[in-house]
Amino acid sequence: MSDVPEASESQEVEHSIPEPEEQSDESSDDREASGDTEMDFLRNLFSKTLGISGEKVLDELTLEGVASYMRSGACKHIICMVGAGISTSAGIPDFRSPETGLYANLQKYNLPYPEAIFQIDYFKKHPEPFFALARELYPGQFKPTVCHYFIKLLKDKGFLKRCYTQNIDTLERVAGLESEDLIEAHGTFHTSHCVSFMCRKEYSMDWMKVKIQSDDIPKCEKCNSLVKPDIVFFGENLPKRFFTSTATDFPSCDLLIIMGTSLQVQPFAAMVGRVSKSCPRLLINLEKAGGADPLLGMLGLGGGMDFDSEKAYRDVVHISTCDDGCLALADLLGWRVELEELVKREHEKIDSKGGEENANQSTVPTVKAESVKAESVKAESVKAESVKAESVKPKAE
Ligand SMILES: [Zn+2]
């Protein structure tokens, strides 16, 4: 598979395979990102000095302006860039939020430092904390949000060029987006691989689900090495498809919709600068993001998004939850009823499927002694709906 992130240790032996230049060594992501930042800096410097600017496409820098552009027929290719904020209403905690964030809940695992749980070298020595966390967060216990279904509606109506997600919860797939619609920039639980570079045997989501729910540490059936979901750990490269698609998708984008991300993590942060100068950019988020670097801003050279300076001409911010923002936009597009019915129908489908699965279990699920402790700690830290899902989860003996 071409879109599988590869362990960093494999890099030396990979030089014979032609790859995008961004992928040629370990520091590729950094270089890609810093390259972008430099380019943005230069672009901004030139546009500032020479007065180069894009065409003004929107009538007004509001959600109404975006909606009327979408209805005009001139807006054909929409790219969505989404982050943790689109999944919080599904009950999935935001990694970086200090209150509800995952890192705050990791004390029980005795990690040397919180990020270690997602570090590939640490994982290879101590996989237990990651799999304990995975058990809490396992995809399938959560339902996609209004925002996820809004993106599905964009696809159904022929607008969606691609959805770039930082999330690993697979809710985009659950909502009906397919592999070709999606770039899972931080990888996915959808597939797993043996971590041994000599083996790399692929495992399905169902296989991994059974392992994770059974308290077993997943081991390769061929070589007995660890098996890891294909989410991108620190110390690993982003999926190759991320770089190839970014290069082709962004120049032809007619509208960039950014939702639920504070655009603080590279390479996502720099990507907003990859659309054409005339491409409108809509941010739906609880706070403004993607603005100029404060230091560069002080020098009058700021890059990034510009919502309200006198030079603002294409960037729109809608401060709200992602669900509310999508409902408001759907309303302006005349899609609101359709969106609400889609959400209702799909959620009912998921609920009834969950009900069947539970009904099919002939015995009351038993919980292993060692996991009782983890379960009770979990109950304090995870939202009510996920605790409910946990309590009916089958435990393999
Ligand atoms: Zn193996």
- Beta carbons of 290 and 284 less than 8 angstroms apart: no
- Give the distance (Å) from ligand 1 centre to CA of residue 210: 18
- pLDDT of 294 reads 56
Whole-model pTM: value is 0.74
- Beta carbons of 63 and 316 less than 8 angstroms apart: yes
- Give the distance (Å) from ligand 1 centre to CA of residue 122: 19
- Give the distance (Å) from ligand 1 centre to CA of residue 388: 35
Digit-coded pLDDT (tens) for 158-175:
999 999 999 988 899 999
- pLDDT of 133 reads 82
Question: With left for phi above 0 and alpha for psi between -120 and 50, is residue 76 left, alpha or beta?
Answer: alpha
Average the pLDDT over 61-67 and give the result: 97
Digit-coded pLDDT (tens) for 303-343:
588 998 888 999 999 999 999 999 999 999 999 999 999 99
- Give the distance (Å) from ligand 1 centre to CA of residue 71: 51
- Give the distance (Å) from ligand 1 centre to CA of residue 199: 4
Q: What is the dihedral of CA 74, 80, 86, 90, to 10 degrees?
A: 90
Q: Residue 363: which pLDDT band, with cuts at 50, 70 and 90?
A: very low
- Beta carbons of 25 and 213 less than 8 angstroms apart: no
For every residue of 48-100, DSSP letters joined together read HHH--------SSSSHHHHHHHHHTS----EEEEE-GGGTGGGTPPPSS-TTT
Q: What is the dihedral of CA 19, 182, 179, 119, to 10 degrees?
A: 60
- pLDDT of 235 reads 87
- The token pair at 73 is 């027929």
Residue-averaged pLDDT of the chain: 78
- pLDDT of 218 reads 96
More confident residue, 9 or 191: 191
Average the pLDDT over 362-378 and give the result: 34
- Beta carbons of 282 and 255 less than 8 angstroms apart: yes
DSSP 259: E
- The token pair at 179 is 């592999």
- Give the distance (Å) from ligand 1 centre to CA of residue 1: 16
Digit-coded pLDDT (tens) for 70-104:
999 999 999 999 999 999 899 886 655 555 556 66
More confident residue, 42 or 201: 201
Catalytic residues: 186
- Give the distance (Å) from ligand 1 centre to CA of residue 121: 17
Size of the chain in residues? 397
Classify strands 227-231 and 187-194 as parallel, antiparallel or unpaired: antiparallel
- Give the distance (Å) from ligand 1 centre to CA of residue 222: 5
- Give the distance (Å) from ligand 1 centre to CA of residue 10: 14
As a whole number of angstroms, the distance between CA 327 and CA 331 comes to 6
- The token pair at 173 is 């797939």
Q: What is the 3-state secondary structure (H, E, C) of 200-247?
A: CCEEEHHHHHHHHHCCCCCECCCCCCEEEEEECCECCCCCHHHHHHHH
- Give the distance (Å) from ligand 1 centre to CA of residue 221: 7
As a whole number of angstroms, the distance between CA 37 and CA 28 comes to 14
Question: Can you point out the beta strands (E) in the chain?
Answer: 78-82, 160-165, 182-184, 187-194, 202-204, 227-231, 255-259, 281-285, 315-319
| Three-class DSSP category at 166 | coil
